[in-house]
Amino acid sequence: FCSSTFSFAITTPYLNYIFTLHVYKLIASRTITTFCYTNPSTWSSLSYGCPSFSVVRKVSSTLEDVLESSAKGNLSENLRVAGDLAPQVYLQKFSWDLAKYPVKQPLRAISDVISKDVSHIEEELKTRYSKYNTLKGNLQQLERKSTGSLLTRNIADLVKKEDFVLNSEYLITLVVIIPKLMSDDWIKAYERLSVKVVPRSSRLVFEDSEHQLVTVTIFRTVQDEFKSKCRENKFMVRDFQYDENEIQAGKDELDKLSAEKKKKFGPLVKWLKINFGEAFVAWMHIKALRVFTESVLRYGLPVNFQAMLVRPVKKNHKRMKEILNQLYGHLDSTALSSQHLSSMEIPGFSMMPSDYYAYVFYKITMDMLEPSR
């Protein structure tokens, strides 16, 4: 294929590109032409054997997810092909990559090479993204523990050493979470929840919009009784023991995961940007192979046709197909007949519109994100 065999028309920004094939001229390798004609079974591998488009979407969706809440720009600015070309521009300038996919090879071999390249990208994407997601998930889990309600969050960063009686054989300091509306009830009741509560030992350490975090010192022998009484009075005793080594280890783990995520972010974004381009190039080469293959199978030899890219205004799709049918309907009368039948309204019988035309037709959807997005 040569870039001169493709023409491109732009009428309005719209994300659906359409391959239409006209019987005219095409520069192509006779080796491929002969193989296409004598081995039509290869068509199935071109239609279903290469997951290029799905991989393009997976890579772009992953890139969007990784770039989320970063300062690396929006998704469209990062989706580039063959260096720094936007996908639409690459389509306009498409030419067959002779170095990567030599046309002297059989069509099956070219298709297998493309499929292998795309499958390799897909497998590596799974591995890289899985590792990054695991790291991201562990970091988010630790971050969530340091925020949220006092009933569940990590309170290690809220208390200080002086809030506790440490290394005592008889005394222990407990951390209690009290609803704000019950703070007066706590002050009046805590000394009487057990017979061995240190008087006036309750201290307010931290509070949010709903709860207060207080400490209270009691004798170790009445821990169970005190906790039971707290539950009866809707006060929650948190299972917490002050340990400077454990608190520091938790902070170090958070810092370590945060640093590791930043370290992996750059290389992952770079890999995704490069391999989006690689997957997109592979997808376009599969499209070109499909256009060429079906054209030879449909119109026969010698090769005499031209491939073109059309970018119509959305509302003009129907009009465009009508004009193409007028120009090329004589090439295959059965195509017009099937379209006419599918457009007929027969009571009690429904027919889907036909995708078979007198010309070879492929739709290229430029929405690079998964449909669910």
Stronger pLDDT, 43 or 94, i.e. the higher one = 94
Question: What is the model's pLDDT at position 135?
Answer: 94
State the number of CA atoms in the 13 A half-sphere of 28 facing the CB: 26
Q: What fold characterizes domain 1-147+250-325?
A: subunit c (vma5p) of the yeast v-atpase, domain 2 (1.20.1460)
**Quick one: pLDDT at residue 310?**
84
Domain borders along the chain are 1-147+250-325, 161-241
Cα dist from 264 to 66, 116, 121, 142, whole Å = 11, 26, 18, 18
**pLDDT band for position 301 (cuts 50, 70, 90):** confident
Do domains 1-147+250-325 and 161-241 share one topology? The answer is no
CATH of domain 161-241: 3.30.70.100
For 205-215, the pLDDT digits (tens) are 999 989 999 99
The CA distance from 27 to 140, in Å, is: 55
Q: Look up residue 316 and give its amino acid.
A: N
Phi, psi for residue 268 in degrees, rounded to 5 = -70, -45
- What Cα–Cα distance (Å) separates residue 109 from each residue in 24, 37, 200, 277, 316? 27, 15, 84, 22, 39
As a whole number of angstroms, the distance between CA 261 and CA 322 comes to 54
Torsion of CA 305, 311, 312, 313, to 10 degrees: 180
CB atoms within 10 A of CB 42: 22
Q: Is the peptide bond preceding residue 179 cis, with omega within 30 degrees of 0?
A: no
pLDDT (tens digit per residue) in 124-136: 999 999 999 999 9
With beta carbons less than 8 A apart as the criterion, state whether 311 and 9 touch: yes
Strand partners, 174: 216
**DSSP-based three-state secondary structure for 179:** strand
Share of the chain above pLDDT 90, in %: 42
Q: pTM for the complete prediction?
A: 0.70
CB 260 within 8 A of CB 135: yes
